[in-house]
């Protein structure tokens, strides 16, 4: 099984090498890169007013529907909205091995951080971990890749202090309540890490209901973190 997977990856590499570059969104031929200028210009960004806990656009409420009773995640922001074409780019980053997209999103996220009053005061970046088996199969964690790019842009250190102890099923088709149940007690703090009174920024690729990040925030708060923020590549509107 692993041999066939390796062959498949090699074939895909040769195809990418031999064929002309094309935009991974619209498939239009481009000279270099992964996305054309037209598709790049279609990416939408969160605009005020925003939910103070997660950064999701809101209309006439103080928080979004998912953060009304939130107590662990103090503040959050997102680089883009998880709608076309950003959603397709995230999919390619996450499942298609297009790790170069981490640089694009990471630089954008760093820009958000450097211009945000709360985020720029963060002490450490903590990427949301994958379960060890999923990490082994994928060979990388997209949240870690994003965090490393942000680190280069901001000099805020990355601390991989969380471990995923449950192999949770995919959240894609679960409602908000089932998402919360799915990730309950899925994370813990690794031994030997002191985050007492630290301002931590949780890094991830996508936030939908926020259940995963909020569970991470709960663990970090219980471990003594002072303030817990989040920064994601994309958020559902």
Say how many domains are in the chain.
2
The reply to whether 26 and 138 lie within a common domain is: no
**The pLDDT value given to residue 65:** 92
The residue with greater pLDDT, 235 or 20, is: 235
Q: How far is CA 141 from CA 74, 77, 81, 114, 217, in A?
A: 25, 20, 21, 24, 19
Give me the half-sphere count of Cα atoms (radius 13 Å) on the Cβ side of residue 163.
9
Q: What is the DSSP letter of 168?
A: P
The reply to whether 231 and 155 lie within a common domain is: yes
Question: What confidence category does residue 40 fall into, taking pLDDT thresholds of 50, 70 and 90?
Answer: very high
The reply to whether 3 and 83 lie within a common domain is: no
| Residue located via tokens 């679960």 | 174
The reply to whether 80 and 194 lie within a common domain is: yes
CATH number of the domain encompassing residue 187: 3.40.50.2020
The reply to whether 166 and 222 lie within a common domain is: yes
The reply to whether 156 and 181 lie within a common domain is: yes
Asked if 125 contacts 157 with a C-beta cutoff of 8 angstroms, the reply is yes
**The pLDDT value given to residue 214:** 96
Q: What token pair was written down for 23?
A: 């935009």
- Residues contacting residue 32 through CB under 8 Å, at least 6 positions apart: 21
The reply to whether 96 and 187 lie within a common domain is: yes
The reply to whether 35 and 59 lie within a common domain is: no
The 10s digit of each residue's pLDDT in 117-155 is: 999 999 999 999 999 999 999 999 999 999 999 999 999
The reply to whether 33 and 52 lie within a common domain is: no
The reply to whether 118 and 218 lie within a common domain is: yes
Residue 5 has pLDDT above 60, yes or no: no
The reply to whether 54 and 100 lie within a common domain is: yes
The reply to whether 102 and 29 lie within a common domain is: no
Domain range spanning residue 165?
43-235
């Amino acid at each position: 099984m692993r041999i066939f997977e390796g062959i498949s990856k090699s074939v895909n590499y040769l195809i990418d090498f031999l064929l002309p570059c094309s935009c991974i969104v619209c498939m239009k031929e481009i000279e270099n890169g992964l996305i054309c200028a037209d598709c790049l210009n279609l990416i939408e960004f969160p605009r005020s007013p925003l939910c103070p806990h997660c950064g999701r656009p809101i209309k006439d409420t103080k928080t979004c529907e998912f953060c009304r009773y939130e107590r662990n995640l103090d503040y959050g922001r997102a680089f883009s909205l998880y709608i076309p074409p950003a959603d397709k780019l995230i999919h390619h980053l996450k499942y298609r091995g297009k790790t170069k997209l981490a640089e694009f999103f990471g630089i954008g996220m760093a820009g958000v951080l450097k211009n945000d009053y709360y985020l720029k005061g963060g002490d450490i970046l903590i990427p949301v971990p994958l379960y060890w088996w999923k990490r082994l199969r994928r060979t990388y964690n997209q949240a870690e890749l994003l965090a490393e790019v942000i680190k280069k842009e901001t000099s805020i250190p990355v601390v991989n202090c969380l471990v995923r102890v449950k192999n949770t099923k995919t959240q894609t088709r679960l409602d908000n309540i089932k998402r919360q149940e799915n990730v309950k007690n899925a994370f813990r703090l690794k031994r030997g890490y002191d985050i007492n009174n630290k301002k931590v920024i949780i890094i991830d690729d996508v936030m939908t209901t926020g259940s995963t990040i909020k569970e991470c925030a709960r663990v970090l708060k219980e471990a003594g973190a002072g303030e817990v923020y989040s920064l994601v590549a994309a958020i559902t509107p």
